[in-house]
Structure 1
Amino acid sequence: MKEGLMLSMKKYIRSSADGAGKRQEKQQQQQQQRRQKRKQHRKTKVDTEKTRYNNLEDMEQYLHYIGGGAGALALTGVAAASAFYLASRPTTERLLWPIDDQALLEGPEQIRVSRFSKDCKDGKFVKHLYNDATTLYECFRRGAKISNNGRCLGWRESFNKPYQWIHYNETLLRAKNVGSGMVAMGLPAGTETFVGIYAQNCPEWIIAEQAIYCYSMVLVPLYDTLGPDACAFIIKQVDMHVVICEDDQKCNLLLDRAPKCLRRLICIKEVRPATKQRAKNRGVEIVKFSDVETLGTKNNHPEMPPKPSDLCTICYTSGTTGNPKGVMLTHENVVASFSAVMMQFGDHKLKSDDVMISFLPLAHMLERCCENAMYMEGGAVGFYSGDIRRLSDDMKALKPTISPAVPRLLNRIYDKIQSEVSRSCIKKMLFNMAMSAKENELKRGILRRNSFWDMLVFRKVQEGMGGRLRLMLVGSAPLAENVLNFTRCALGCMIVEGYGQTECCAPITLTVQGDHIPGHVGPPVSCCCVKLVDVPEMEYWANKSQGEVCVKGTNVFQGYFKDPEKTEETIDDNGWHHTGDVGMWLPNGCLKIIDRKKHIFKLSQGEYIVPEKIENIYIRSQYVQQVFVHGESLKSCIVAIVVPDVDVIKCWAQENGIPGTLSVLCNHSEVKQLIMDDMLSWGKECGLKSFEQIKDLYLHPDPFSVQNGLLTPTMKSKRPQIKSYFTPQLEDMYKKLA
């Protein structure tokens, strides 16, 4: 019994040992397989990294050297770091020319010309970039060809819907039909026919514009800030028979003061029966835009393309006093202007796969030039939905690569970010670190949006503008240096700032690729040359590189419509257009705008202010003895220094039980409110626009006089001296309004 038990136990132990040996052998095999898999995985990963990251040929040697698990871990870290660096490695912007020598200097008059076109000194200015695109009619057809009938005009019905598009060939066909329809309705083809457009940016605006060019007619844009009186003046001056209107509201605004020459309104959207009847009573016919298009399809009149020298548009400036002035521009003027700008973009030039957001008014030349440059290159233009407060929603949906901008928009973005980061110490610290890092890169000519700081701090700003912006053109009004720096850092795209006028089809100078130093508006563009002339009354001298900016070139306008006197005042006998702006040449050949020859200035939103006109209205107030209206191009509103009428104010104060000297009364809130309310009521009564009304005032007890240096011997205000004297008070008012 014992022997049998012992035998069984020996067999069990033997079998257990055999099983354990087999299990151990199996485990060893599995471990060997796992090691082989890890080794193969590491080798595959290394091969991938070698291919992806610039063929790092020493990876295998490094793997063999370090060996083991620790080596694999080290390799993973090295590979990850290498991958991130190579993917986000910064590259320096190519300089188009030395940054300290950006314009050529010619002749005793110290005329500056573009380095892109040395023949400018001989009067051979750039007229166009392509021989098959010398008019806006030809430019659009070139875009259709090189884009292979690509996307052209985009819009969306509401904020919860995507953008929809019409392509180039469809746009051209519709434009031809609309133009043919207008001819069928009795409008003669040719440059003697003027057609108005009074609408917000939309596809129909561009279709109508091209329709006008198909038959060599002249486009005259109208816009809200002109006001109904100015619109009526324009329609009458050009003897306009047809205006293409957006909607019922704009139709009624024109009907309020419709001149007898106006016979037809072509409305893009539906119009109420009451409006149609009102128009009929005034002898004006209202027709649908779509009906004109259908009529053109049936009649199919042959096109009559324009020549480069033909008048293209009359763009009325809003004016500062009196009626607006009609700036006459030819096809050559407009094509030359945006062709020269395209040269300035360098490696960032427009391409057929670019998408532009359209939100600045098409009635102004800045937007018109930007869009027509896009069409010439076959790019796509998407229109915003009409609410500027929700522009970011449109940009997120459209994802543009190109955008024009104005300081007012960029100021709003800057202020919003500053407000947000000021709420948290951590956010403020990170923001300052990010700005410092990106500014250091800008100084080295590095422009990008894939850095660590972009992902951590600026991603939200970039995505708010669609996340794909690569080029932005800023114009219309001066932009503060700190805002320009912030925008360049935050968006990580090329931002060029220009200076120009409607009389020059927008551009005169423009910053160039590789120059990220703020504080100037760049060298002249290649379609013109620029010189400065003396302004003795303001003590600006050309030999000291300061003076009035004068321009000559293929972008300079033909004159003011039916106004030879103002034309002669602006364009001299040698063809130089005198801008009225005072500039200064920087040592690097770039222009800096420092003053205005006449006492006119532009607010940050682009509106002109004539201070004397406003002062002459406010002085009617019984409480005001003297008034000085002040504004700045970096601010959106105006303020005033007021010297109260001592007798009237003291009488009012006694009646209301307010004691004190005039100095004491000037600091009294009720006195200030009384005077401001009366001034604003006078402004309203005399028709001042909202941006022409002061937003704050400072009461000063001592009158301006010849003795204290604030008046001339002829009793006129010395504006520079008054501004300098009251600088602390002016700055304080703007701080409170911010």
Structure 2
Amino acid sequence: MPFLWGELPADKSRIPKYICGVNITLKLSKKTLNISLDNDNGPCLGYRKPNQPYRWLSYKQWVISEFACYTYSMVSVPLYDTLGAEAVIYIVNKADISTVICDTPQKALVLISNVEKGLTPGLKLVILMDPFEDDLKRRGEKCGVEILSLFDAEPNPEDVTISYLPLAHMFERVTVVYSCGAKVGFFQGDIRLLPDDMKTLKPTLFPTVPRLLNKVYDKVQNEAKTPLKKFLLNLAVASKLSEMKKGIIRRDSLWDKLIFRKIQENLGGNVRLMVTGAAPISPPILTFLRAAMGCLVLEAYGQTECTAGCTVTLPGDWKSGHVGVPMACNHVKLEDVPGMNYFAVNNEGEICIRGTNVFKGYLKDPEKTQEALDKDGWLHTGDIGRWLPNGTLKIIDRKKNIFKLAQGEYIAPEKIENIYIRSSLVSQIFVHGESLRSFLVGVVVPDPDALPSFAAKIGVKGSIEELCQNQTIKKAILEDMQKIGTEGGLKSFEQVKCIHLHPEPFSIENGLLTPTLKAKRGDLAKYFETQINSLYGNTQE
């Protein structure tokens, strides 16, 4: 896995048994995974195309192959083709990958092409899940790469690496519950079609990220258009919150039947535990979800370097605005950050973690390892936290990705973005600033569901693209953002002064988001360089 690196076993004779291990693991796992190899078996380890039933494809092979690696103490390395050709080459070389498992011949062609160009000389074996032509096999042989079918392979005694895993993020990995006999469903790859997937899969355990929950919240708020509907919605939330304070969590109340049933059914109607992480979630949204879902909704905090989680909210704690208490496997301390005026004596500082869940270091990168891990084994997260009186941790700032404006003020753009995203009109936002400039600018992707109705209220009509070019719309969205920024405690120099509206969402496919849906700030700055320069040029300092 990417967070922990170890040596392969000295006894290399075990490694050729890999494919045998796949078949053994398949048989042993058949009951607990509820796998059916011969026919469709419901929403588990599958995929589907829009408006079509779920079909078994290659996801079961991924999981079974991974289990086989673990059986023989092998290290698996997730590899994202969405990161681009250069990233694939870098990871293959950095991790000394000799064997890759992938599903399609197209991906195998990319890997072979890299070997032919001398870019990945260590790659010796590609194992394919899908059928392939003999031409592919012959092309591989010419450059020294053996092409094999998954269940017919006899690998060389080298490192085995699984590539293109569907469960490749640390947050996903720690919430996978195969050992309990659970099923795991994979969405069809389009976040816009996720509600359809949820209705089909009907999950009981739902690990998620705030971006999705924000959309659920915004949709409900936008549908409560009349004063009566808003009054009833707020009354229902207040009533359910009152029950939560008494330790009552249910979804069979009158308010569930009248107000919240549709929301619950849109997420499958069967969720018993929801865990949100990877980014901060707004306290009002978390409170709303706890009331609306009628189940445990926990917030966790951590990062890949500490195996995803280091703190989590506790069942029975109905208060929002914090990320809970330290997990049993680690300690958490706060360390002084004098440059930002945070001191541990005031219960504020950089969050540091030490425990059995903390990684050993970055592969072949001792300098970055020393930056992240100090001599006593504390992982420095780069996040600023505050201990609350009840012993919970609150994330209040970010040490990394900060910069200064021309007047010398420190800016933490991610903190500002997390406040602006509370606007129902904002789907995504990128806040940008420069040390030679005195103010911030922003690139905003408007919410495609909320924008048309909002525009109609102020007498503006048109497509999403046309609305993004409209100065009246731009001014109204900026005013709404600044209002929310003031309510969220932003200082005047933390408010964006002007914005550019962009109709297309930031995504993994266009290279503006990481595979964990975090903003790639450098790439965003380059992508919108022309628009950013225009914003600065047309706005008075």
Q: After TM superposition, is the score higher than 0.5?
A: yes
Q: Please state how far the C-alpha of 1:531 moved relative to its aligned partner.
A: 0.7
Q: Deviations along 1:687-725, whole A, 9 cap, x unmatched?
A: 95358745874667666xxxxxxxxxxxxxxxxxxxxxx
Corresponding residue of 2:523: 689
Residue among 44, 63, 66 paired with 1:206: 63
TM-score by length of 2: 0.66
Corresponding residue of 1:235: 92
Unaligned runs of 5+ in 1: 1-140, 166-199, 302-310, 317-359, 601-610, 616-627, 646-666, 677-682, 704-738
Where is the helix percentage greater, Structure 1 or Structure 2?
Answer: 1
Corresponding residue of 1:267: 128
Residue among 126, 131, 147 paired with 1:286: 147
Residue among 232, 249, 252 paired with 1:430: 232
**Partner Cα distance (1:497, 1:490) in 2:** 16
Q: Please state how far the C-alpha of 1:227 moved relative to its aligned partner.
A: 2.8
Instruction: Trace 1:324-343 onto structure 2 (pairs within 5 A).
Output: none
Residue among 183, 199, 207 paired with 1:380: 183
Q: Deviations along 1:192-221, whole A, 9 cap, x unmatched?
A: xxxxxxxx9922221121111122110001
Give the direction of change, closer, same or farther, for the CA distance of 1:249–1:574 in structure 2 (3 Å limit): same
Preserved contact between residue 637 and residue 691 of structure 1 (Cα < 8 Å): no
Residue among 173, 187, 197 paired with 1:368: 173
Residue among 423, 426, 431 paired with 1:639: 431
Question: Which residue identity is paired with 1:506?
Answer: A
**Partner Cα distance (2:26, 2:144) in 1:** 41
Is residue 74 of structure 2 the alignment partner of residue 217 of structure 1?
yes
Corresponding residue of 2:103: 246
TM-score by length of 1: 0.50
Preserved contact between residue 369 and residue 505 of structure 1 (Cα < 8 Å): yes
Q: Please state how far the C-alpha of 1:283 moved relative to its aligned partner.
A: 4.2
Q: Deviations along 1:330-353, whole A, 9 cap, x unmatched?
A: xxxxxxxxxxxxxxxxxxxxxxxx
Preserved contact between residue 472 and residue 496 of structure 1 (Cα < 8 Å): yes
**Partner Cα distance (2:340, 2:58) in 1:** 41
Unaligned runs of 5+ in 2: 1-23, 36-43, 406-410, 422-427, 438-474, 476-497, 503-510, 513-519
Corresponding residue of 1:398: 201
**Partner Cα distance (1:436, 1:265) in 2:** 57
Q: Please state how far the C-alpha of 1:254 moved relative to its aligned partner.
A: 4.0
**Partner Cα distance (1:312, 1:275) in 2:** 21
Q: Please state how far the C-alpha of 1:432 moved relative to its aligned partner.
A: 2.4
Q: Please state how far the C-alpha of 1:253 moved relative to its aligned partner.
A: 4.6
**Partner Cα distance (2:521, 2:142) in 1:** 29
Q: Please state how far the C-alpha of 1:458 moved relative to its aligned partner.
A: 1.2
SS at match of 1:550: strand
Preserved contact between residue 644 and residue 700 of structure 1 (Cα < 8 Å): no
Is residue 277 of structure 2 the alignment partner of residue 475 of structure 1?
yes
**Partner Cα distance (2:203, 2:229) in 1:** 28
Is residue 375 of structure 2 the alignment partner of residue 573 of structure 1?
yes
**Partner Cα distance (1:376, 1:281) in 2:** 43
Give the direction of change, closer, same or farther, for the CA distance of 1:633–1:554 in structure 2 (3 Å limit): farther
Question: Which residue identity is paired with 2:430?
Answer: I
**Partner Cα distance (1:637, 1:154) in 2:** 33
Preserved contact between residue 351 and residue 385 of structure 2 (Cα < 8 Å): yes
SS at match of 2:252: coil
**Partner Cα distance (1:497, 1:398) in 2:** 23
CA-based RMSD of the aligned residues comes to 4.3
Give the direction of change, closer, same or farther, for the CA distance of 1:267–1:417 in structure 2 (3 Å limit): farther
Q: Deviations along 1:301-360, whole A, 9 cap, x unmatched?
A: 9xxxxxxxxx999999xxxxxxxxxxxxxxxxxxxxxxxxxxxxxxxxxxxxxxxxxxx9
Preserved contact between residue 144 and residue 150 of structure 1 (Cα < 8 Å): no
Question: Which residue identity is paired with 1:375?
Answer: Y
**Partner Cα distance (1:585, 1:142) in 2:** 45
Corresponding residue of 1:516: 318
**Partner Cα distance (2:499, 2:205) in 1:** 46
Preserved contact between residue 32 and residue 179 of structure 2 (Cα < 8 Å): no
**Partner Cα distance (2:316, 2:324) in 1:** 12
Q: Please state how far the C-alpha of 1:145 moved relative to its aligned partner.
A: 8.9
Preserved contact between residue 432 and residue 525 of structure 2 (Cα < 8 Å): no
**Partner Cα distance (2:264, 2:103) in 1:** 33
Q: How many residues align?
A: 417
**Partner Cα distance (2:70, 2:149) in 1:** 20
Q: Please state how far the C-alpha of 1:511 moved relative to its aligned partner.
A: 0.3
Preserved contact between residue 100 and residue 127 of structure 2 (Cα < 8 Å): yes
**Partner Cα distance (2:26, 2:132) in 1:** 34
Is residue 295 of structure 2 the alignment partner of residue 503 of structure 1?
no
Q: Between 214-223 and 506-515, report the one with greater CA deviation.
A: 214-223
The structure with the larger Rg is 1
